Amino acid sequence: MARDPFRILFVCLGNICRSPIAEGLFRHHVEAAGLGDRFVIDSAGTSGWHTGKPPDERMCRTARERGVDITGQRARELTRDDLATQDLIVVMDRQNLANTRRLADDDEGASKVVLFRSFDPEADGDEVPDPYYGDMDGFSHVYDIVDRGCRALLAHLRRQLEI
Ligand code: 4NP
């Protein structure tokens, strides 16, 4: 019998820079591995400031240059319902961690919320830096961090889910 797909949600502050590239790159690696039907992949922001907007043009351009298209995504705000319905919620920094866990009703919900960089054995810090107020180099840097992290996260989940 087919198992339900694993529901994974990436979360940052605005849902226009870091979590969209995480959603796009995780989907890219999942599809490359032929595992597209095993995951439901989404992203959201702890704020609703950019709800309905596409990802930041600088993040779209950085991704496009490396062969990944994220322009079809639209920002949405994280909801309390996400804490109940997602299997794993992967957040970009400690502020996101606190704000997302605050929405959980119980320890089980809170324990679904983890830092993105916790899966990367080569990580030189525990946060994905916010590139919004920086220059294009910051977006490339975020792309590299997120690409490595998504590969490590997928390897971790393949072991855990035995797929
Ligand atoms: P994100 O980046 O959380 O990676 O989407 C930001 C986007 C927008 C803002 C801050 C961070 N903002 O202040 O509007």
Q: What is the pLDDT of residues 116-159, one digit of tens each?
A: 999 998 899 999 999 999 999 999 999 999 999 999 999 999 99
Residue 151: predicted pLDDT: 98
Residue-wise pLDDT tens digits, 13-46: 999 999 999 999 999 999 999 999 999 999 999 9
Residue-wise pLDDT tens digits, 61-77: 999 999 999 999 999 99
State the SS3 of the chain: CCCCCEEEEEEECCCCCHHHHHHHHHHHHHHHCCCHHHEEEEEEECCCCCCCCCCCHHHHHHHHHCCCCCCCCCCCECCHHHHHHCCEEEECCHHHHHHHHCCCCCHHHHHCEEEHHHHCCCCCCCCCCCCCCCCHHHHHHHHHHHHHHHHHHHHHHHHHHCC
- Ligand 1 proximity of 134 Cβ (cutoff 6 Å): no
With a pLDDT cut of 90, the percent of the chain lying above it is 97
147 is catalytic: no
- Ligand 1 proximity of 54 Cβ (cutoff 6 Å): no
Residue 2: predicted pLDDT: 74
Pairing of strands 6-12, 113-115: unpaired
Residue 3: predicted pLDDT: 84
The span from the CA of 24 to the CA of 62, in Å, is: 12
